[in-house]
């Protein structure tokens, strides 16, 4: 989704803004632009559709636009096609206000009509240009007071926004405001920055202020000040970001995705180490202490995309160990459900970015019911992390590739810890079993490392199936949840249509699509369900499917049925999802490479989906 950056300080702004936009590319975009104010206070705007390189070339890497104050933007089109004129920054028709925006202004049509009647004109199809003209209108109406203009505009907008704003009459100040779209302020040695996420400005500062909903910020070369919507001062203390700025470099790798796949043993280990102390799981840091656990009877787990698939794994694993009732739901559906949550319920939201609009809304919906909310989040200080009652951070570090891999694996690690701890505190597993699980967990990073070694075999397999138009993933129980994630990985980056099914469900419709050569990926890691799934694999095989088997060899006959077998190491079945997913991630990656697609930035997708 759209990315925002702004800077005021000693450096030349344009190269810094372009560097920030480079870091924001991973969020997904189709056009980019910058506005910089020179020493004569003139504002130059350069923007273009297409890749950032076009903007970089157009400005000679920022050298053609001089000035130490500016704003920049990567746009992921919502209102209006990707084009130069629809790109940000947008300038009000009187030239007084320049704006970059992330979010959606739902009442833009109504506001646009009012502004037209007042003589304002428009050149683009965007909702952002409406905001620029609203700001200009309220600026004029409030005696050229920028703060009053911003507050008046914020109060009249329905929807979500993070704004970076420059006023012609106020040189050397960048204004910022937000409601429901992410925005942070960074305190660098030579000035101040605003950005959609910390990752964009990590090279300049680790000292970050978080802007809350309906707050404004003003950055100058020498300081930052914050105001609430009534324009009263708000005091804030900066947080120190733990991430290393180098951790988001691609290094020697061709793509971020393969780098992040290979980082999985490390991030799983770091995540486990954070919550296992002296051979015991300690989740107290998240407020989820033992007495709290004893009072919980029902759990709802919510997320979007891969985070939802992680929720599915959690459902199976918590139910397997505790017999508690667990419901999972896609956050965009849960937020509109008419559901009464009992006080003994707990809601868990899972999100890498901590900013996904639907997951945030689902969290708020759960909080309205007064139940305890727990977030499993990767990005420190993100909206979900700040709003949930408790947080368990995954220690995956910055994840750049749009298709998540390492953050998903770190989420699974946290899920195992929650399931085991719930079972232990509720006396559903013995002390001995508890210890044996923790022992197995300590081996998990090494098992994942072993799985990654199957790369060469997967590479050949990927070439063999890269010409396919469809693929079907099947599994039973928790293997079905793994199949869903494996299927999503393939379709999102290689554009091969793929679907995941509960193995037993295939014959209720989808089996009619199976013909000679159809690719079916069968996952069998759960001993007690293995024979059942094998029967389903035999059903597709006998209809001509080309079967790729992923298994921990819990059933010998599997290798006789499958055309190709990919073996994963043995572990307790409980932890098998963390291993079975590795060859599926690698398969998606190498198919994408074989097809020559853009691995890290697949078309139409955004890393962080901050609009509904
Ligand atoms: C996007 C990403 C997915 C991610 C989903 C949820 O669709 O491309 O990889 O799983 O959003 O994101 P979150 O940050 O909430 O985990």
Answer yes or no: is pLDDT of 522 > 80: yes
Q: Is the CB of 105 under 6 A from ligand 1?
A: no
**Which residues, 6+ apart, have CB-to-CB distance to 415 below 8 Å?**
310, 313, 314, 317, 318, 376
Question: Which pLDDT does position 322 carry in this prediction?
Answer: 94
Does 51 participate in catalysis according to the annotation? Answer: no
Instruction: Report which of residues 126 and 1 the model is more confident about.
Output: 126
Instruction: Report which of residues 366 and 555 the model is more confident about.
Output: 366
Characterize 138-167 residue by residue with b for buried, 16 or more Cβ atoms within 10 angstroms of its Cβ, and e for exposed: bbeeeeeebbebbbbbbebbebbbbbbbbb
CB 71 within 8 A of CB 35: yes
Does 607 participate in catalysis according to the annotation? Answer: yes
Distances (CA, A) of 507 to 7, 536, 538: 58, 8, 12
Question: Which pLDDT does position 338 carry in this prediction?
Answer: 85
CB 94 within 8 A of CB 26: no
Banded model confidence at residue 52, pLDDT cuts 50, 70, 90: very high
Q: Is the CB of 382 under 6 A from ligand 1?
A: no
pLDDT digits (tens, 9 = 90+) for 438-482: 999 999 999 999 999 988 899 999 999 999 999 999 999 999 999
Residue 509 corresponds to which tokens in the numbers above? Answer: 């419709």
Distance 488 CA to ligand 1 centre (A): 11
Average pLDDT, the chain: 94
pLDDT digits (tens, 9 = 90+) for 543-554: 999 999 999 977
Residues shown for the chain? 612
Pocket probe mutation, ligand 1, options 310, 353, 385, max atoms within 8 Å of Cβ: 353
Distance 194 CA to ligand 1 centre (A): 23
Helix extents (H) in 263-370: 264-275, 290-294, 305-322, 331-334, 357-368
For residues 96-102, average pLDDT: 96
Question: Which pLDDT does position 563 carry in this prediction?
Answer: 95
Question: Which pLDDT does position 77 carry in this prediction?
Answer: 83
Q: CA 109 to CA 94: how far, in whole Å?
A: 20
Residue 174 corresponds to which tokens in the numbers above? Answer: 């960048």
**DSSP element (H, E) containing 16:** helix 13-24
Question: Which pLDDT does position 243 carry in this prediction?
Answer: 79
For residues 420-438, average pLDDT: 96
pLDDT digits (tens, 9 = 90+) for 567-591: 999 999 999 999 999 999 999 999 9
Q: Quote the DSSP letter at residue 37.
A: E
Question: Which pLDDT does position 577 carry in this prediction?
Answer: 98
Characterize 584-603 residue by residue with b for buried, 16 or more Cβ atoms within 10 angstroms of its Cβ, and e for exposed: bbbbbbbbbbbbeeebbbbe
Question: Which pLDDT does position 339 carry in this prediction?
Answer: 85
Distance 177 CA to ligand 1 centre (A): 24
Q: CA 379 to CA 384: how far, in whole Å?
A: 9
Pocket probe mutation, ligand 1, options 28, 29, 260, 307, max atoms within 8 Å of Cβ: 307
Q: Is the CB of 349 under 6 A from ligand 1?
A: no
Question: Which pLDDT does position 544 carry in this prediction?
Answer: 94
Characterize 515-550 residue by residue with b for buried, 16 or more Cβ atoms within 10 angstroms of its Cβ, and e for exposed: eeebbbbbbbbbeebbeebbebbebbbeeebbbbbb
Q: CA 168 to CA 183: how far, in whole Å?
A: 22
Banded model confidence at residue 262, pLDDT cuts 50, 70, 90: very high
pLDDT digits (tens, 9 = 90+) for 143-174: 999 999 999 999 999 999 999 999 999 999 99
Distance 393 CA to ligand 1 centre (A): 16
For residues 10-30, average pLDDT: 93
Q: CA 306 to CA 579: how far, in whole Å?
A: 16
C-alpha gyration radius of the chain: 25
Half-sphere exposure of 87 (CA within 13 A, CB side): 21
């Amino acid at each position: 989704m759209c990315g925002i950056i702004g800077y005021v300080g000693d450096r030349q702004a344009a190269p810094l803004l372009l560097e920030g936009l480079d870091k924001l590319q991973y969020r997904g975009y189709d056009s980019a632009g910058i506005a910089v104010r020179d020493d004569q206070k003139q504002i130059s705007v350069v923007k273009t559709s297409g890749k950032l390189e076009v903007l970089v070339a157009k400005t000679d890497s920022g050298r053609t636009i001089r000035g130490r104050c500016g704003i920049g933007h990567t746009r992921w089109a919502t209102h209006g096609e990707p084009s130069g004129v629809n790109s940000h920054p947008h300038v009000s028709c009187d030239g007084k206000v320049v704006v970059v925006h992330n979010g959606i202004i739902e009442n833009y049509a109504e506001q646009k009509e009012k502004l037209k009647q007042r003589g304002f004109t428009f050149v683009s199809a965007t909702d952002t240009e409406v905001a620029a003209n609203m700001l200009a209108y309220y600026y004029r109406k409030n005696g050229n007071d920028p703060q009053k203009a911003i507050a008046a505009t914020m109060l009249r907008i329905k929807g979500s926004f993070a704004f970076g704003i420059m006023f012609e009459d106020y040189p050397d100040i960048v204004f910022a405001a937000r409601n429901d779209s992410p925005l942070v302020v960074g305190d660098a040695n030579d000035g101040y920055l605003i950005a959609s996420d910390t990752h964009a400005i990590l090279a300049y500062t680790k000292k970050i202020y978080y802007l809350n909903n309906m707050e404004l910020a003003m950055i100058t070369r020498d300081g930052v000040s914050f105001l609430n919507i009534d324009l009263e001062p708000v005091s804030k203390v900066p947080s120190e970001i733990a991430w290393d700025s180098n951790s988001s470099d691609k290094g020697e790798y061709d793509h971020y995705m393969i780098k992040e796949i290979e980082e999985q043993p490390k991030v799983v280990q770091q995540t486990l180490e954070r919550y296992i102390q002296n051979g015991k799981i300690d989740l107290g840091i998240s407020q989820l202490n033992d007495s709290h656990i004893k009072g919980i009877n029902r759990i709802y787990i919510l997320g979007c995309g891969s985070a939802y698939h992680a929720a599915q794994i959690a459902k199976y694993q918590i139910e397997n160990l505790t017999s508690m009732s667990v419901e999972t739901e896609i956050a965009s559906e849960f937020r509109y459900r008419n559901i009464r949550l009992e006080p003994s319920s707990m809601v868990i939201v899972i999100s890498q970015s901590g900013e996904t609009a639907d997951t945030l809304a689902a969290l708020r919906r759960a909080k309205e019911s007064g139940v305890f909310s727990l977030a499993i989040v990767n990005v420190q200080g993100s909206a979900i992390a700040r709003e949930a009652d408790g947080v368990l951070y995954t220690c995956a570090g910055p994840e750049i590739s749009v298709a998540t891999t390492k953050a998903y694996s770190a989420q699974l690690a946290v899920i195992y810890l929650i399931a085991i701890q719930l079972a232990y505190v509720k006396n559903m597993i013995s002390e001995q079993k508890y210890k044996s699980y923790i022992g197995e967990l300590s081996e998990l990073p090494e098992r994942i490392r072993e799985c990654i070694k199957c790369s060469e075999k997967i590479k050949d397999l990927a070439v063999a199936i890269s010409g396919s138009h469809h693929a079907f993933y099947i599994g039973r129980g928790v293997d079905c949840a793994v199949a869903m994630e494996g299927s999503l990985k393939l379709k999102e980056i290689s554009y091969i249509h793929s679907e995941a099914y509960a193995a037993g469900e295939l014959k209720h419709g989808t089996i009619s699509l199976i013909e000679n050569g159809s690719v079916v990926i069968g996952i069998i890691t759960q001993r007690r369900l293995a024979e059942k799934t094998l029967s389903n694999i035999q059903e597709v095989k006998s209809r001509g499917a080309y079967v790729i088997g992923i298994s921990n060899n819990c059933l010998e006959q599997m290798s006789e049925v499958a055309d190709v077998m990919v073996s994963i190491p043995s572990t307790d079945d409980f932890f098998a999802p963390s291993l079975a997913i590795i060859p599926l991630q690698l398969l998606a990656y190498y198919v994408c490479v074989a097809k020559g697609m853009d691995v890290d930035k697949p078309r139409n997708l955004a890393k962080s989906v901050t609009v509904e």
